Amino acid sequence: MSASSFEFATAGRVIFGIGTSAQVAPLAASLGSSVLLVTGRNAARAQPLLDSLREAGLRVSLVSLAGEPTLAEVQQGAEQARAMRCEVVIGFGGGAAMDAAKAIAALATNPGDPLDYLEVIGKAQPLERAPLPCIAIPTTAGSGAEVTRNAVLTSPEHRVKVSLRHALMLPRIAIVDPALCVTLPPSLTAASGMDALTQLIEAFVSTRANPLTDALCREAIPRAARALRRAVSHPDDLEARSDMSLASLFSGMALANAGLGAVHGFAAPIGGTFDAPHGAVCARLLPFVFEENARLIQARMPASPILARFTEIAQMLTGRAQASVEEGIAWLHALVRDLPIPPLSAYGMRVEDVPMLAERAAQANSMRSNPIALAQEDRVRMLMRAL
């Protein structure tokens, strides 16, 4: 949290606003003549984009994902991109589609086994060659993946989610059109919105926070706090959608430069072990992790300046200048109850799974920037409360 030295990197170009998705085809055409379009399970949502790309004279090959991307799926996508001689990769969808697009763009140009480049389960080697240019277009307001330098991939064999990460994986262009989120069902709006809020809060209290990421979080946390319930209950409210899209965008910029924390540290092994949506897992964990982190810092690091940040978050969430940390904790618990967000047990997680998941979470990259080091017993307690 020092201003003495920091780095900030984001997508090469960010275009934000209602209707901006109309610019995709000409921008893609400026980068190449052959496109690989990566979408989520509902590929029909991308039909207008697909039509506009073809009308612009581009050759388009399609990849549709049934869920969060696996290592095998992005390998296949990279082979398809090479076979079709694609010059541009477009990710259109939620965080999964954009992560897949970034990974495919990277693996399409880099030789060898993809495990060479993966964190945790691989060698974490840097990419040898620049990825294909990537255009990222979010259709949810949650992951901020349009401006991050990593792609989260599932390895069913290892029962974990891991990242393919490199500075060159930042998308060439990010196009954020809040109107694309209007058709999202309430459950997905809630889960993805909670993911964005979690990312903002974790980046703000991260050990790697810096003045630039702080500014992004201070701007976005109040927007998400006032807009999330409204976006869930009134899907066609474009003001709420715009606030959530901006919060998501800023959360991606913040996490890419400041890191995350224990919520995402837990989400990696949980998501790799169970068929559990990332946003919903983060949503369930957030109030408990926020509460436990604050309690542990108060007990073990009472003089730490980080405590003031927990108070500031409470004030941003509640909109009250004198709000306490306890009021912020209560606000988060009430939000999760109101949305509503299911417990982790809804995805098949059991009490006997908790020690293993807590141990594996300790190895997650996100745990390194949690505001306080967590012992195994701390991690177990957090998971048990969210179960």
pLDDT digits (tens, 9 = 90+) for 304-314: 999 999 999 99
- Per-residue confidence (pLDDT) for residue 85, from 0 to 100: 97
Same domain assignment for residues 75 and 36: yes
In a domain, 9, yes or no: no
User: Would you state the structure tokens that stand for residue 380, as one six-digit string?
Assistant: 């177990």
Q: Hey, is 92 helix, strand or coil?
A: strand
Which of 170, 39, 155 lies closest to 95 in space, CA to CA? 39
Question: How many folded domains does the chain comprise?
Answer: 2
For residue range 312-337, list pLDDT tens digits in order.
999 999 999 999 999 999 999 999 99
pLDDT higher than 60, residue 2: no
CATH number assigned to the domain comprising residue 330? 1.20.1090.10
Residues 37 and 84: their CA atoms lie apart, in Å, by 12
For residue range 164-174, list pLDDT tens digits in order.
999 999 999 99
Same domain assignment for residues 242 and 103: no
Domain coverage including residue 64: 14-181
Which of 261, 288, 272 lies closest to 349 in space, CA to CA? 272
In a domain, 6, yes or no: no
Residue linked to tokens 């090469």 = 12
pLDDT higher than 90, residue 19: yes
Same domain assignment for residues 360 and 247: yes
Domain end residue (candidates: 148, 181, 214): 181
Domain end residue (candidates: 156, 181, 206): 181
Same domain assignment for residues 120 and 243: no
User: Residue 158 pairs with which residues in a beta bridge?
Assistant: none
Mean pLDDT (the chain) is 95
Same domain assignment for residues 83 and 162: yes
- Model pTM score: 0.96
> What proportion of the chain, given as a percentage, has pLDDT over 70?
99
Burial class of residue 188, CB neighbours in 10 A (0-12, 13-18, 19+): buried
| Structure confidence at residue 3 as a pLDDT band (50, 70, 90) | low
- Per-residue confidence (pLDDT) for residue 1, from 0 to 100: 52
